[in-house]
Amino acid sequence: MKLSEFTSGIIDGRLLGADVEISSITDDSRKVVEGTCFVALRGHLADGHKYIQQAIDSGAAALVLEDETLVKSFPAFVVKDSKKIVGQLASAFYGFPSKAMKVCGITGTNGKTSCTYLLESMFNKAGFKVGVIGTINYRYGDKIYPALTTTPGAIEMQDHLAKMRDAGVSHVFMEVSSHALDQYRADGTLFDYAQFTNLTRDHLDYHDGMDDYLKAKQRLFDPLLEQSEKNEKAAIINIDDEYAEKVLASYSGRVIRTALEDRRADIYAESLETSLDGNRMLLNVFGKQYQCASPLTGVHNAKNIIQAVAVGLSAGLSATDALEGVSSLKAIPGRVEKVEDKNRRHVFVDYSHTPDALQNTLSSLKKLKEGRLFVVFGCGGDRDRGKRPLMGQVAAQFADVVVVTSDNPRGEEPAFIISEIEPGVIKAGMQKAASDLACEINNGEYQVIENRAEAIRFVCQAAKAEDVILIAGKGHEDYQIIKGVKYHFDDREEAAKALKSEAGGSND
C-alpha cells in the first residue's frame, strides 16, 4: 500500500518526500523491518521521536511524526499530534476492519470482562463467530493472544480486528479502558454499540480526579459512537449508576437504559433470587417478561446479565438465544469463580480491586452466607494509594474476618502498602487478632499475613463448613510482581492446595 493511500483521510497532515510502498506499520521502533512505516508517538514514559534514526537504520520506508526538522529528504507524513491519528491511520492501513463487523465497546470501572464473556456465550450459542478483546486475553475461534493491557495499542487493535474480519468474525465485544480512551487507542474503530457499566474510584494515579476519569469514559460515546458511520447505533447504560446520564453528555443517538429494579429502565428485573449457586430473575424487556437463570452469583452479576441482554437484543438476537447464552455460561475466570471443596467451605476468587467492586462482591456474599464470611485481599503497588484505606474499610464493614495481605506490590514494599490499608480496617471497628497464625480468629478481628499463599492457607484452615471465603484482588491473574520480578502465583491454585489440607473444613 502506498503511503498516500492510508494517510489521505487525515486532514491535518501533509506528505513529504516520495510516495513509497508500505508493507507494515508500527509505533515500536524495535519492530521495524524493511518497508515499515514507523509512527513516532509522544507517550507518558517515552517519545518515539527519539527513536527515528533507529527506525531508519532498521529499514523503515516512511515516518509519521510531528517534527519535520528531525528528518531530511525522507518519506514522511507530518501531523500535529501523532497519537490522535494513529488509530485512524492503522484502520485505513488494515482496510477499515471494523466496517465489516458489529462492534460493541464496553467501558466502566467494573463488569467489563463479565459482560464480554456473557455476550460471547450468547452469540456463540446463536451460531455467530465472535471476537473478544479484553483484560484476560484477545480471542476468536481457536486463536488466543495474551492481553498485556485491557485494550491494546491503536495499531495492535486494528491488526487484531483485521485478523478477526479475515477469519469470518461477525461480532466483536471489546473492553475499552479509560487509559485507552484517553490515549486514543480506540480511535479509528467504528462502533455499533457502546456500553457503560458504572464509574467508581479507580486509576486516580493516572487520571486527575473523578471528573477527568469521567471525561475519558465519555469519549466512547462522543466522539467514537456519535461519529461512527454505522447505521443502527445504540448506547446501553446502567441508570443505577450516578454517572449514567453524565457519560452521555454530548451523545445524541439511541439510548437503551438498564437497571436492576428501576422501572424507568427499558430492561430491568421484576424479581431476583440470588444464591451461592447463581441468579434467577424475571426480566422485563421493553414491557415483555422473560425468565432468566444463570450460574453466576451476586447482585452485581445480575446487573451485568441485564446489560448483556440489552446489547444482545440490540444486536439482533432473539430473547430465547440471549437467555440460553446466559444460562450456558458456567463461570468467568477470576470473577466470583468458585473453588470446589469437599468439606463445604464456599471459596470464591474474584478480581475486585476497587472499593466499589469489593463492596459489591462482599455484600452479595454476606446476604447468602450461612456461616462466617472471610476475606483475603491486598492492594497493588505503584497504583492509586488513596483507595487503600477505603478498601480496608469496606472489607471490615462487610466481612466477619479480614486478612490483609500482599497483592501485586510491584516496586513498593508490601508492608508499606498493608500499613496504608490497616487504618481503614481499624476505622470500621475491627481489632487486630493475636499474632499466632495457628490460633482461632474471632468475628470482628483482622490479621496481617504478608505472604499471600500463607494468608490463603490461614483462612482455609480457619474456615468451617458453610463458611464463605472471598480471595479478592487478583482474580484470573497468575502472577505476582515483586521488585520488578514476575513470579507465577494463582489464587485459584493456592486455594485448591489449601483446601486439600486436612486442617479446617470440619465442624468437629
Q: What is the CATH number of the domain that holds 481?
A: 3.90.190.20
Other Cβ atoms closer than 10 A to 63: 27
Tell me: do 59 and 105 sit in the same domain: no
Q: What is the pLDDT of residues 362-407, one digit of tens each?
A: 999 999 999 999 999 999 999 999 999 999 999 999 999 999 999 9
- Return the CATH number at 152: 3.40.1190.10
Domain match, 341 and 324 both: no
Domain that holds residue 384: 337-499
> Is the model's pLDDT at 506 over the cut of 50?
no
Does residue 202 register a pLDDT over 90? Answer: no
Q: Is residue 109 domain-shared with residue 189, that is, in the same domain?
A: yes
At 165 the pLDDT is 98
pLDDT band at 436 (very low <50, low <70, confident <90, very high): low
Per residue in 156-197, pLDDT (tens digit) is 999 999 999 999 999 999 999 999 999 999 999 999 999 999
pLDDT digits (tens, 9 = 90+) for 453-487: 999 999 999 999 999 999 999 999 999 999 989 99
Q: Is residue 40 part of a domain?
A: yes
What is the average pLDDT across 298-302? 94
Looking at residue 504, what is its pLDDT?
Answer: 45
Q: If you average pLDDT over residues 69-88, what whole number do you get?
A: 95
Tell me, yes or no, whether 312 and 395 share the same domain.
no
State the burial class of residue 227 (Cβ atoms within 10 Å of its Cβ: 0-12, 13-18, 19+): exposed
Domain boundary pick from 82, 105, 140: 82
What span, in angstroms and rounded, lies between the C-alpha atoms of 460 and 472?
14
Q: How far is CA 260 from the centre of its chain?
A: 21
Structural domain contains residue 149: yes
Residues 189 and 209 in one domain: yes
Of 328, 354, 387, which marks where a domain is finished?
328
Same domain, 454 and 319: no
Number of structural domains (the chain) is 3
Stretch 107-112: mean pLDDT, rounded?
A: 93
- Does some domain include residue 90? no
Q: Is the pLDDT of residue 505 over 60?
A: no
Distances from the Cα of 232 to the Cαs of 8, 45, 239, 247, in angstroms? 27, 39, 22, 20
Domain boundary among 273, 300, 328: 328
Comparing CA positions, the residue from 416, 426, 418, 351 lying closest to residue 393 is 426
The predicted-structure confidence for 227-243, as pLDDT tens digits, reads as follows 999 999 999 999 999 99
Q: Is the pLDDT of residue 503 over 60?
A: no
* Cell (9 digits) for 322: 440471549
User: Residue 375, SS3?
Assistant: strand
* 28 and 110 belong to one structural domain: no
**351 shares its domain with 442:** yes
Q: Same structural domain for residues 200 and 278? A: yes
Number of helices (H), then strands (E), in the chain: 14, 25
Distance CA 236, CA 232 (A): 13
Residues 265 and 381 grouped into a single domain: no
Residue 19 lies in a domain: yes
Average pLDDT, the chain: 94
pLDDT at residue 501, as a whole number: 76
- Residue pLDDT, tens place only, 248-273: 999 999 999 999 999 999 999 999 99
Is residue 505 domain-resident? no
* CATH number of the domain enclosing 78: 3.40.1390.10
Q: Is residue 504 one of the residues assigned to a domain?
A: no
In this structure, the answer to whether residues 480 and 454 fall within a common structural domain is yes
> Using CA atoms, how far apart are residues 395 and 393, in angstroms rounded to an integer?
5
Range 314-336 average pLDDT: 95
Q: What is the mean pLDDT of residues 424-429?
A: 98
Residues 6+ apart with CB under 8 A from 50: none
Interhelix angle 154-166/82-93, rounded to 10 degrees, is 20
Q: What CA–CA distance (Å, rounded) separates 105 from 175?
A: 6
> Is residue 452 within a helix (H) or strand (E), and if so which, with residue range?
helix 452-462
- Taking alpha carbons only, the member of 379, 389, 341, 383 closest to residue 506 is 341
Overall pTM > 0.95 = no
Q: Are residues 454 and 418 in the same domain?
A: yes
